[in-house]
Amino acid sequence: MHNIVPLLLPLEGDTSWPPSAASFNSRPLFPGLGIDWVNNHMMQAVIGALLVIAIWLIFSHRQTVVPGKRQFLGEMAYNLVRNSIGKEILGSEFRPFMPYLVAIISFILVNNLFGELFLFMFPTFSKIGYAYGLALMSWLLYNAVGIKKYGFGHYMKKMTLPDGVPVGLWILIIPLEFISNFVTRPITLALRLFANLFAGHLVIMVFVIGGTMLIESGTLFYAAAGGVSILFSFAIFALELLVGCLQAYIFTVLTAQYVSSAIAEEH
């Protein structure tokens, strides 16, 4: 039974009871060299990125007008982003944003699925730094697009001052809109992704570590409860699979939504 924890939670920093934020700590790959940032979770993120690139290159390699099985699969994935996110939200201007949307949804999705994939069993975005990084990218994207389209002054006015607000309320409304559009947006974007995966993975750790401890307690009743707990963790894994897909989708949809509101014509 000693093998369950390393098998189900191979990348955790600390598997003592109770699981906490410290459980998510990374392990340096070369301890003592002063390069703590080269750690197991970073490697996982690198592998994730390479995997995403590899999968897309395989899908897009040598395409034909009449798709084969491989291309058909790729087109299904691509069409999901293209039609239900790109065209649906950005309308006819979707084409230049396709690379960004495809890249971000697949990068997040693969890293989320690592949470349920053996060898990894750890969702990269439960490390909040990665979530901040991507949220920052999306923030830069929609603001850059808006500024490029309207110019800085016009864009700021559009984003901070709704039509028809009387001058007397400007001083109250402008900070509100500013916070809403430039602060809460990226923060909620990052936190939503991070919190879902962090919480989900924490629950898994509770069941796995707790279950293991119960099994090893020596008492038959506790051991049985521990077995159930381990089994239940698999149900949570299944749930996390769903959450991981959903969060990847939501992050991408929101990015597209922000871009759309940044380039939308005033009414």
Partner 1 sequence: MLPLELNLGPLLPEHLSEIFVGIALFLIVWFVVAKKVVPMFEATYAERTEAIAGGIEKAERAQAQAAAALKEYQEKLANARQEAADIRAQAQAQAADIAAEIKAQAAEESQRMIASAKQAIEAEKAAALRELRGEIGGLATNLAGRLVGESLEDDDRIRRSVDRFLDELDSQKV
Partner 2 sequence: MNDQGQGITVVSLLLAGLLLYGGAGWLLDSWLGTRLFTPFGLILGSALSIYVIVKKMGGVKS
Contacts to partner 1 by CB under 8 A: 21, 24-26, 36-37, 39, 41-42, 45-46, 48-49, 52-53, 56-57, 59-61, 63-65, 67, 71, 74-75, 78, 82, 95, 98-100, 102-104, 106-107, 127-134, 136-137, 191, 194, 198
- What's the closest the beta carbon of residue 251 comes to partner 2, in angstroms? 12
Q: Give the three-state DSSP class for 218.
A: coil
Residues 6+ apart with CB under 8 A from 132: 190
Rounded Cα gap, residues 235 and 238, in angstroms: 5
Work out whether 253 is an interface residue with partner 2 (CB under 8 A): yes
- Our CB check for partner 1 shows the closer of 65 and 167 to be 65
Per-residue string for binding with partner 2, 44-83, x by CB under 8 A? ----------------------------------------
- What's the closest the beta carbon of residue 114 comes to partner 2, in angstroms? 28
Of 185, 194, 210, 237, the residue at the interface with partner 2 (CB under 8 A) is 185
Report whether 137 contacts 251 (CB < 8 A). no
Work out whether 175 is an interface residue with partner 2 (CB under 8 A): yes
Stretch that binds partner 2, among 60-68, 194-202, 240-248, 255-263 (CB under 8 A): 255-263
Rounded Cα gap, residues 212 and 225, in angstroms: 10
Of 60, 79, 84, 184, the residue at the interface with partner 2 (CB under 8 A) is 184
* Helix, strand, coil percentages in the chain from 3-state DSSP, rounded to 5: 75, 0, 20
Report the largest interatomic distance among the alpha carbons of the chain, rounded to a whole angstrom.
73
Work out whether 180 is an interface residue with partner 2 (CB under 8 A): yes
| Tokens linked to 78 | 């691509």
Of 89, 108, 190, 230, the residue at the interface with partner 2 (CB under 8 A) is 89
Per-residue string for binding with partner 2, 10-49, x by CB under 8 A? ----------------------------------------
Closest by CA position to 117, among listed 181, 44, 199: 44
Contacts 24+ apart (CB under 8 A), 210-216: 210/17, 210/18, 211/4, 212/1, 212/4, 212/5, 213/17, 215/1, 215/4, 216/1, 216/2
Q: Which does 137 bind (CB under 5 to 8 A by kind): partner 2, partner 1, none?
A: partner 1
- What's the closest the beta carbon of residue 113 comes to partner 2, in angstroms? 25
CA torsion sign for 95, 98, 99, 100 is positive
CA torsion sign for 127, 132, 135, 136 is negative
CA–CA–CA angle 44, 239, 133 (5° rounding): 40
- What's the closest the beta carbon of residue 167 comes to partner 2, in angstroms? 14
Give the count of residues interacting with partner 2 (CB under 8 A): 25
- Binding residues for partner 2 (CB under 8 A): 88-89, 162-165, 169, 172-173, 175-177, 179-181, 183-185, 188, 253-254, 257, 260-261, 264
